[in-house]
Amino acid sequence: MRLLLGFVALLALGGAAQAADPDALWKIVSEKCVPNEQQHGQPAPCAAVDLGDGSHGGYVVLKDLVGDTQYLLMPAAKVTGIEDPQILAPGAPNYFADAWAERQFTVTAAKRDLPRDDLSLAINSVYGRTQNQLHIHIDCVTPAVRDALAKNIAALGDKWASFPVKLAGHEYRAMRLGQDGLDRVNVFQRIAEGIPGARAAMNKQTLVVVGTTLPGGAPGFALLEGEADLAAGNRGSGEELQDHSCALAK
């Protein structure tokens, strides 16, 4: 609770500044959370700080001001977003695997055990975000998306294909992964390598990863990819598939 109050107070003092400053999140990471962990062993105002080691990059987990269950996972290093070449570099840290591993913050905040099918990770395109520090939204998925995935999961394959229905009014491509965690797959690479033209236009991409139960009962994931199209009013904000009120927990 002290961490939450500290973060709320931080933003209350400068809410307008955060909206206007695209580096506000990076400043919280680099000037507050990481130094506090390094110097005092305390992550505040973040909920957690992993300083990393030789095998993986560091990251922080921060409670978002919006909603009771939304958290953000961000690199401890400067990485601007989905378009940053660092995320496709050989040996790049697997931030989506880290975000899925930290989903317990959302589960704890929801005050009930949430099945994997209720949980999601999202990153927005350049046009669907306000901050220039890579941040993965960890939160509940909307009931409509959860139900649409449950209805169509058997039809999803291991290659990208158009999802049969619009989600939040927008077209998405989808594929499924048959594994319990994300450690063995770089989902950014799945976009860059599997969708024609995506590598040269990563700034337009948005990605949502939703936990699923596959036919037969095995754990898996649905990957949902969208692309910003400003002329059509689509800013490429996969966060639209998340529910920051977490109705599924009520």
State the pTM of this model: 0.92
Neighbours of 22 (CB within 10 A): 14
CA distance 149 to 168: 13
> How do residues 235-247 score in pLDDT, each as one tens digit?
999 999 999 999 9
Nearest 5°: CA angle at 93, between 43 and 8? 30
CATH annotation of 47-249: 3.30.428.30
Give pLDDT, residue 134.
98
What's the Cα-to-Cα distance from 236 to each of 86, 153, 154, 225, 240, rounded to whole Å? Answer: 21, 23, 26, 9, 9
**Residue 193, SS3?**
helix
Tokens 């599997």 belong to: 194
> How do residues 127-177 score in pLDDT, each as one tens digit?
999 999 999 999 999 999 999 999 999 999 999 999 999 999 999 999 999
CA distance 134 to 25: 9
| b/e per residue 221-247 (b: at least 16 CB within 10 A) | bbbbbbbbeeeeebbbbbbbbbbebbe
Give pLDDT, residue 23.
98
pLDDT grade, residue 2 (50/70/90)? very low
142 against 5, higher pLDDT:
142
11 against 94, higher pLDDT:
94
Q: Would the pLDDT of 3 be above 80? A: no
> How do residues 74-83 score in pLDDT, each as one tens digit?
999 999 999 9
Q: Would the pLDDT of 217 be above 80? A: yes
Give pLDDT, residue 19.
58
Tokens in use for 125? 């395109």
Domain ranges of the chain: 47-249
Please list the residues that pair with 208 across neighbouring strands: 122, 224
Q: Would the pLDDT of 4 be above 90? A: no
> How do residues 17-71 score in pLDDT, each as one tens digit?
455 799 999 999 999 999 999 999 999 999 999 999 865 789 999 999 999 999 9
User: DSSP class of residue 77?
Assistant: S
Sign of torsion over alpha carbons 68, 74, 80, 81: negative
> How do residues 83-128 score in pLDDT, each as one tens digit?
999 999 999 999 999 999 999 999 999 999 999 999 999 999 999 9
